[in-house]
């Protein structure tokens, strides 16, 4: 099933495909984070919103972030994807502008916690803390998952898979080298969760962080070095067969 779904054609209908348009690492990081954040709902609408966003950034995401100002702010006023609106986009762009003054890559925010963690739990919390900074009560915080409150953090786990994992089919980007693929956690959503339950890889009924850890444990038995490669099969099979939750 991994071989069936882990193919370049996968990118045609997936927001990850938009990241492949860019070569500069910072462009890729920015588009990847934004696309992962928008990645809920209908995939066609996600990609449409992503294309609008890339156009707003004039196809130069890092340059746009670096030079974000009042004129740039006026350009993003009409942007909206579900509950992610121009206020949230403004916050993301301002924080990215600030973070790139401190870090040469967003990888440097995640990587230290991976040294002592066995999965993505601590690294995602570390990223959330740094990304929100002093703005702990900003409305945009709902778009940055918090595993410590039980969230499965599907979108940030997906972002990590995109940035860290690399395979011969060149679907995931593999631009971050300081994080071991073996410690990544599988993005868990309704499709991958239903498939995992069908194939007895997951017993827990809720798609929360405890379920992520249970699924991680079983996927590492199948491949300890690259457990998240099964995400393609879990998600793809779930979408194709439309398995229902029990």
Whether residue 212 contacts residue 59, with contact meaning beta carbons closer than 8 Å, is answered with no
Report the pLDDT averaged over residues 147-158. Answer: 97
Whether pLDDT at 227 is above 90: yes
Q: Is 173 exposed, middle or buried (0-12, 13-18, 19+ CB in 10 A)?
A: buried
Q: Which residue has the higher pLDDT, 4 or 50?
A: 50
Is the pLDDT score of 28 beyond 80? yes
CA distance 14 to 107: 23
Dump the DSSP string for 231-246.
HHHHHHHHHHHTPPP-
| For the chain, domain boundaries | 2-241
pTM of the model: 0.95
Compute CA 155 distance to the chain's CA centroid, rounded to the nearest angstrom.
4
> To which residue do tokens 């593999």 refer?
174
Average pLDDT over residues 122-133: 98
Confidence of residue 240 (pLDDT cuts 50, 70, 90): confident
Q: What does the mean pLDDT of the chain come to?
A: 94
Q: Assess whether pLDDT exceeds 90 at residue 169.
A: no
């Amino acid at each position: 099933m991994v071989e069936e779904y882990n193919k370049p054609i996968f990118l045609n209908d997936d927001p990850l495909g938009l990241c492949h348009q860019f070569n500069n690492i910072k462009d890729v990081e920015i588009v990847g984070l934004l696309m992962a954040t928008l990645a809920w709902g209908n995939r066609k609408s996600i990609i449409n919103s992503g294309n609008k966003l890339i156009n707003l950034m004039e196809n130069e995401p890092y340059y746009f972030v670096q030079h974000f100002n009042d004129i740039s702010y006026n350009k993003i006023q009409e942007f909206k994807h579900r509950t992610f609106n121009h206020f949230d986009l403004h916050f993301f762009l301002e924080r990215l502008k600030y973070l790139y003054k401190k870090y040469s890559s967003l990888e440097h925010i995640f990587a230290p916690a991976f040294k002592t963690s066995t999965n993505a739990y601590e690294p995602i919390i570390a990223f959330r803390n740094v990304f929100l900074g002093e703005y702990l009560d900003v409305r945009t915080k709902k778009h940055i998952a918090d595993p410590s409150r039980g969230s499965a953090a599907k979108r940030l786990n997906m972002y990590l898979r995109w940035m860290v994992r690399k395979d011969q089919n060149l679907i995931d980007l593999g631009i971050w080298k300081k994080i071991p693929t073996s410690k990544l956690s599988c993005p868990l959503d309704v499709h991958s969760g239903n498939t995992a339950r069908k194939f007895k890889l997951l017993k827990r009924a809720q798609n929360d962080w405890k379920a992520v850890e249970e699924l991680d444990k079983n996927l590492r038995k199948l491949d300890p070095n690259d457990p998240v490669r099964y995400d393609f099969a879990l998600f793809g099979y779930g979408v194709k067969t439309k398995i229902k939750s029990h």
